[in-house]
Amino acid sequence: MTSQPVSVQITDGVAHVRMDNPPVNALGVALREGLMDALAELEHNDDVTSVLLIGQPKAFSAGADITEFGTGTSSPTLPELVARLEDFPKPVVAAITGVALGGGLELAMAAHARVALPTAKLGLPEISLGLIPGAGGTGRLPRLVGPQRALELILGGKQISAEAALKDGLVDAVLDGVSGFETEAARWTAEFAASGEPVRTQDRTDKIADAAAKPGTVVELAATALRKVKDPFAGKAAVEAVTAGIEESFERGTVVERAKFQERLKSSESAAQRYLFAAERAARKPRNLDPAAARDVKQAGVVGAGTMGGGIAMALASAGIPVTVVEAQQEALERGLGMIEKNLSVSVSHGSRTENQAAQQRALITGTMEYADLGDADLVIEAAFEDLQVKKEIFATLDHNVKPEAVLATNTSYLNIDEIAAGTEHAERVLGMHFFSPANVMPLVEVVRGGQTSPEALATGFATARRIGKTPVVVGVCHGFVGNRMLEVRSRQAEQLLLEGALPSQVDDVLTNFGFRMGPFAMADMAGLDIGWRNRKAQGTTAPIGDALCETGRYGQKTGSGYYSYEGRERRNDPAVTEIIERVSAEHNVTRREISNEEILERLLFPMINEGARILEEKIADRASDIDVIWVKGYNWPAYRGGPMWYADQMGAAVVVERLTHYAEATGDASLRPAQALQESADGGVSLTEGA
Ligand code: 3HC
């Protein structure tokens, strides 16, 4: 009776209004129009006593249509639709299957009640796009779940389960769907309609009464979540809208929400995060990778029960993949399994896993000292000591102990995959899977395509990383791949800045003010300075200040002193470090000078961009946006700044080229000269990230 993508069917007085806009029921203009038309017809249809709003199995609705942003949204707008639904004179129930996200959840919250399938997921992820909920979410969510929980959900952007939503009051019933979810939802709707006049969500006051009576409560409640928020600009805007909606009125909150939403939509921070949304999806489709070539991984193996190996084993088990962990020494194996056990218990106490889930994962992880126990493995990930010889020996052993079709991956951070593969008889089944520490938590995996890696091996590594919930990005072979190669360039500049006149805290502060959670020196202290020192010695390279600190036993947090001194985790500037730095500068005949924060930022970031451009020239990464995904997901580059290549585009490649040329001349460091791809981008005015 109405235009697609909305269909209506009336059964026993309940109008089933179905949204059908694949793939995720984004609330684009056609769907909004369809819903408005349907409501207009149903309002005056005497056969209809109530409305059941339902979506598709995969999605009730994933929210506003992101592709409409920037083009201006035509009427009926989402806020208009939401208002119409809430004011509808007959009871409306939203039946949630799949996801109800952003504007999708806002639509559901404007219904007079909500029921959900147990597998449904609900959330307001706008903050991940640098936005705030823009269709009444900042007003209605606190009225349903209370201000504290609402702020957690709006500022955290996380999805919650139907069960959690029921506990919070966000849904009214979880229907198990024994006789069919829709049938049960219709029955529930009829009963709900018969039970009396529904209350509009915006008129509910019980959960916000306390906060409304005590101005300042919302800001106070938001403090913790705001400290952790990924986009502080959107975070602050969201808190202002929630505050107005509680302390003033729902209407006033709506006005503030609308203004802040529009402001954020136009901001560079949101543009960066919307770009990243597309970039992450592009990275899921690597060039020259055939997803159909992936082998099914029913059983996995991990070599090495250290921090990385244990983390990888946990990640595999959390996706239900049985995993055998091999260690050379009994003691190391027991220590590793003990660490896994401890991590699982901690995650139960933090509520990120249930006791039941932890038990299931524990049961999937088996330890052994025999390579022969990997005979059934479809994929083995080696996570042993970062040493080429050690890895080559392991791969040669693996080659003889696994089945012929098994895929072998190395979790190396720097080493040449092709050299590791050369020690096997089947180099085509070898690839790199570079996880980030802690591997059970960090999302990024650089999936490294070796010179001989087969399409099957690459697709299997990639698909497995996706299956365990990671963000895989395909890269080629070079020292440090994409992420660490660019990090090394930054580290070199950071050390050089100390030598020329800066102090660790100045350099670190510049990066934390930019939006990184930690600067390079605080990070080095946390990771331990001795590791880099040992590597440098092995490679015959030096970092004069880093080396000098290590020579005095300052290895970082673990020794209570490094670039800073520590009391517990509390960091302090240390005059002894200043002395060491000044001494080393003098030894190198460097006259120390005052260095501006602007120079520090440019010297740290522009050489990284330059290295990114070289990486593109060498085709180590498929696209500039892949580099950005790597930096945001693996190195905490602030998402609201899009990633190094996006940042370069915003700055203009010509500016980056000009500054790099200047620094190359000023410091005599030829490696700072602009890369060809960067120069071309500057000359042609073509952005690096275009088409991402
Ligand atoms: N608008 C337009 N397209 C969308 C979309 C949206 N809201 N959500 C997803 N899509 C597209 C994706 O771009 C992708 O397109 P592609 O196939 O061309 O690459 C396709 O739908 C499938 O999406 P995924 O590949 O991401 O599929 P998954 O199954 O992995 O994930 C999902 C599904 C969980 C729904 C995920 O897509 C997602 O998180 N979407 C974004 C949800 C979101 O942020 N909603 C808030 C929007 S802002 C808003 O609502 C403002 C409001 O407050 C006014």
What residue owns the CA closest to ligand 1's atom 18?
A: 281
Is a pLDDT exceeding 90 seen at residue 176?
no
CA 139, distance to chain mean position in Å, is: 27
Whether the predicted pLDDT of 387 surpasses 80: yes
pLDDT at 178: 66
Q: Whose CA is nearest to atom 26 of ligand 1?
A: 281
Over range 647-655, report the average pLDDT.
96
Is 70 exceeded by the pLDDT of residue 399? yes
Give the distance (Å) from ligand 1 centre to CA of residue 446. 24
CB 340 within 8 A of CB 316: no
Per-residue model confidence (pLDDT) at position 539: 82
Whether the per-residue pLDDT at 477 is higher than 80: the answer is yes
Weakest-pLDDT range from 111-125, 204-218, 347-361, 678-692: 678-692
Say whether 5 sits in a helix, a strand or coil.
coil
Q: Encoding tokens for residue 72?
A: 């201006």
The confidence score (pLDDT) of residue 692 equals 42
Residue 662: CB atoms within 10 Å:
14
- Please state the atom number of ligand 1 nearest to the C-alpha of residue 59: 35
Q: What is the pLDDT of residues 5-38, one digit of tens each?
A: 999 999 999 999 999 999 999 999 999 999 999 9
Is 123 touching ligand 1 by the criterion CB < 6 Å?
no
Q: Is the CB of 91 under 6 A from ligand 1?
A: no
How far, in Å, are 365, 377, 395 from residue 401 at the CA level?
19, 10, 10
Q: Are 86 and 53 in contact (CB under 8 A)?
A: no
Separation of 690 CA from ligand 1 center, angstroms?
21
The finding on whether 498 has its CB within 6 A of some atom of ligand 1 is no
Closest by CA to 430, choosing from 402, 407, 456, is 407
Q: Is 468 in the pocket of ligand 1 (CB under 6 A)?
A: no
Tell me the pLDDT band of 2, cut-offs 50, 70 and 90: very low
Confidence check: pLDDT of 691 > 70: no
Cβ pair 45, 15 in contact under 8 A? yes
| 64 close to ligand 1 (CB < 6 Angstrom) | yes
The CA 25 to ligand 1 mean position distance, Å, reads: 9
Confidence band of 488 (pLDDT split at 50, 70, 90)? very high
> Residue 73 pLDDT > 90, yes or no?
no
With the most atoms of ligand 1 within 8 angstroms of its CB, the residue from 19, 21, 24 to mutate is 24
Output the residue whose Cα is nearest ligand 1's atom 20: 23
CA of 159 to the centre of ligand 1 (A): 13
Q: How confident is the model at residue 316 (pLDDT cuts 50, 70, 90)?
A: very high
**641/223 Cα distance (integer angstroms):** 23
Number of the ligand 1 atom closest to the C-alpha atom of 23:
21
How far apart are the CA of 84 and the centre of ligand 1, in A? 24
Q: Is the Cα torsion angle 458, 460, 461, 462 positive or negative in sign? A: positive
Any ligand 1 atom below 6 A from CB of 241: no
Check pocket membership of 103 for ligand 1, CB cut-off 6 A: yes
Identify the residue whose C-alpha is closest to ligand 1 atom 54: 134
Span 195-212, mean pLDDT?
96
Q: Of all protein residues, whose CA lies closest to atom 24 belonging to ligand 1?
A: 281
Whether pLDDT at 645 is above 50? yes
Which of the residue ranges 255-259, 354-358, 442-446 would you say has the lowest mean pLDDT?
354-358
- Which stretches of 350-451 are assigned E, i.e. beta strand? 365-368, 379-382, 407-410, 430-435, 444-449
Tell me what the pLDDT averaged over the chain comes to: 95
Furthest-apart CA pair in the chain: how many Å? 92
pLDDT confidence of residue 1: 44
Q: Is 393 a catalytic residue?
A: no
Does residue 106 carry a catalytic annotation?
Answer: yes
Q: Closest ligand 1 atom to the C-alpha of 132?
A: 53
Q: How far apart are CA 430 and CA 104, in angstroms?
A: 43
Cβ of residue 541 lying under 6 Å from some atom of ligand 1: no
> In this predicted structure, which of 183-197, 265-279, 347-361 has the lowest mean pLDDT?
347-361
The active-site residue out of 68, 80, 86, 106 is 106
pLDDT at 536 over 90: no
Distance (Å) from CA 442 to ligand 1 centroid: 22
Query: Ligand 1 within 6 A of 67 CB?
Result: yes
Please determine, for residue 473, whether its predicted confidence score (pLDDT) is greater than 70.
yes
pLDDT at residue 305 is higher than 90: yes
Question: Which atom of ligand 1 is nearest to 103's Cα?
Answer: 50
pLDDT above 90: percentage of residues in the chain: 92
Interval between CA 641 and ligand 1 midpoint (Å): 21
Q: What are phi and psi of 359, to 5 degrees?
A: -65, -40
d(CA 657, CA 675): 8
pLDDT band, residue 4 (cuts 50/70/90): confident
Q: Please pick, among 33, 68, 80, 126, the residue that the annotation labels catalytic.
A: 126
For ligand 1, the distance from its centroid to the CA atom of residue 682, given in whole angstroms, is 33
- SS3 helix, strand, coil % of the chain, rounded to 5? 55, 15, 35
Which ligand 1 atom lies nearest to the CA of residue 278? 13
Write the CB contacts of 213 (distance below 8 Å, at least 6 apart in sequence).
Answer: none
CA of 232 to the centre of ligand 1 (A): 22
Please report, for residues 45, 56, 252, 447, the alpha-carbon distance to residue 419 in angstroms, rounded to integers and kept in the order given: 74, 49, 65, 16
133 lines ligand 1 (CB under 6 A): yes
Identify the pLDDT of residue 70.
72
pLDDT at 253 over 70: yes
Query: Could you tell me if the CB of 65 is within 6 A of ligand 1?
Result: yes
Q: What local confidence, expressed as pLDDT, does residue 202 receive?
A: 98
What is the C-alpha to C-alpha distance for residues 499 and 474, in angstroms, rounded to an integer? 36
- Pull the structure tokens for residue 519: 């600067």
CB distance 367 to ligand 1 below 6 Å: no
26 lines ligand 1 (CB under 6 A): yes
Q: Does the beta carbon of 165 lie inside 6 Å of ligand 1?
A: no
User: What is the Å distance from ligand 1's center to 22 Cα?
Assistant: 11
The pLDDT tens digits for 408-454 are 999 999 899 999 999 899 999 999 999 999 999 999 999 999 999 99
Q: Which of 66, 153, 262, 264 to mutate to test the pocket of ligand 1 (most atoms within 8 A of CB)?
A: 66
Positive/negative CA dihedral, 383, 385, 389, 393: negative
285 lines ligand 1 (CB under 6 A): no
Indicate whether residue 66 lines ligand 1 (CB < 6 A): yes
Phi/psi at 330 (nearest 5 deg)? -55, -45
